[in-house]
Chain A
Amino acid sequence: MQLTNRKVVVSHKELSFAERMYLPAVAKGMAITLSHLFKKSPTIDYPKKTRPMSATYRGRHVLKRDENGAERCVACGMCAVACPAEAITIVAAERKKGEEHLYREEKYASSFEINMLRCIFCGLCEDACPKEAIFLTDRLVDAEFEREDFIYGKEKLVEKIDKRIDITKRQTQAVLDFKKIPGLRHNTLFDPKKQVKH
């Protein structure tokens, strides 16, 4: 039975005199290696140079603040529901008086954890977020020694007030328009009347 067309019949014929001299074969082999001497090495000098990265690369997450520096996240849990890897854990809390400059709306996430070992960087949390609070960035998750260190809390996720992170590449008008399409799963989910019970 023939499965492929790649069958090769093994030949055990005696070597001819020219073949037994080895030298033609040796010369052929050396010509091949010599041709590689003039090829460009594909190596990238990593610490000095890095590979070009897509502007919309999906790397380490950021929790955005609004223009006044208040956290945008309202702890609705949409991202945690959307997350296929179940990497996001949120604890919600109610805003107290005098905290208006810290949190944009009455509800906020007192704890927001993403397990970077579980996360598959699909970006569904970003799609699901109704408040434009979570975005993936082109930053990379650092290497750590302990598994616990990969569970990023708010101190690592929320952007610093004086060091804002630019997400304009990912938050284009097309994306904003897409989010407004009625009937999308995350829009229906956000409808409080149709809230799915867990």
Chain B
Amino acid sequence: MIALLIYKGIMCVAVFGISLGVAAYSTLWERKFAAFLQDRKGPNRAGWGGILQPLADGGKMFFKEEIIPNVSNRALFILGPSMFMVTALMTGAVIPWGKPLMINGVTYDLQITDINIGAIYILGVASVGVYGIMIGGWASNNKYSLLGAVRASSQMISYEIAMGISLIALIISAGGSLSVKDILESQDQGVANIVWQPLGFIIFFVCALAETNRAPFDMAECETELVGGFHTEYSAMKLGLFLFAEYINMFISSAIMAGFYFGGYNFPFANELYSALGLEQGSWLISLIGFGAYFTKIVLFICLFMWVRWTLPRFRYDQLMNLGWKGLLPLSLLNLAITIVIEYFRGNIQF
């Protein structure tokens, strides 16, 4: 029992630390990447090549004056960013980060918990995340904040439907289990789910952009239209939590896409490589290589997110809704129908 608690505790701290660390350095990389795409150099004053910039930003956020508008609802105003942050961190709990590790004959999954409805858990927690934005924007008692919050929530609700349906198609392809670990294990033989779900992946990716409030779907922030959207009234670390949670969301959705569609810690000829190296099942090296492969994919996805952000202009609100309801929703239903037919002939489902 104690051993289990220690193991879970270590896993929690590790996932927490990785999420925060990746999010912190995503903020730097975002600015660097934007600079590279725009033929600039980006922040390079703090530390070697700007490596200490996230610390400087964090320090600035902590020491800024904390302003709570006196017309705002104080309790909800504080609850908003906290909730957004908590939900952003919660999603990481069901993601398996590598192959199980064998220590002294006991197998340890590199995953906080393997709940059998993991995929639904992810969708559910992601939907709760919009409450953070909604509460924060509403409690600010500011028209810009409220507009940003309303836009964000309607956008998230619209895109969640297409996302959920494309996820159903994926689960059918991947063997019918909702457990995240099972979905990753189904790609063990080196064939990633993207082979069977190319359309589903595109839909999922577009929805993930919308769910994480990233450009071109950053309706919640809309700097050019709504001042700062839902976080107009926020300052100091509460603003920091909002911005930071956005990067954690990006990291987690990159992890989900890399895992669900690109095999996660599996990669082509992985098993051949392991047997060629003479590694046994449960070896720490296998876990490490797997984690490295997964992490590389995640970083590539984060770069893709940033690449999209610094290329495409923001959608107009009606275009956003058109795309969501008239474009992606029918498309995801079509994808689901095609998947069912294909999987029937592959023998994965019987009627």
Contact = CB atoms under 8 A, between A and B. Distances in A.
Interface stretch (B34-42, B160-168, B249-257, B341-349): B34-42
Contact of B36 (A22, A30, A37, A45): A37
B207 to A, nearest CB: 15
B312 interface: yes
B39 A33 contact: no
B316 to A, nearest CB: 13
B40 A30 contact: no
Contacts, number: 34
Interface extent on A, as a size class? 10 to 19
A39 to B, nearest CB: 5
A43 B41 contact: yes
B296 interface: no
A36 interface: yes
A41 B307 contact: no
B311 interface: yes
A33 B307 contact: yes
Contacts of B323: 22
Interface residues of B, number: 15
Interface string A3-37: 00000000000000000001100100110111011
B273 interface: no
B38 A36 contact: yes
A133 B331 CA distance: 82
B320 to A, nearest CB: 12
A23 B35 CA distance: 24
Contacts of B41: 41, 43, 45
18 contacts: A23-B202, A29-B312, A30-B307, A30-B308, A32-B311, A33-B307, A33-B311, A34-B37, A34-B307, A36-B37, A36-B38, A36-B39, A37-B36, A39-B39, A40-B39, A41-B35, A41-B40, A45-B44
Interface of A: 22-23, 26, 29-30, 32-34, 36-37, 39-43, 45
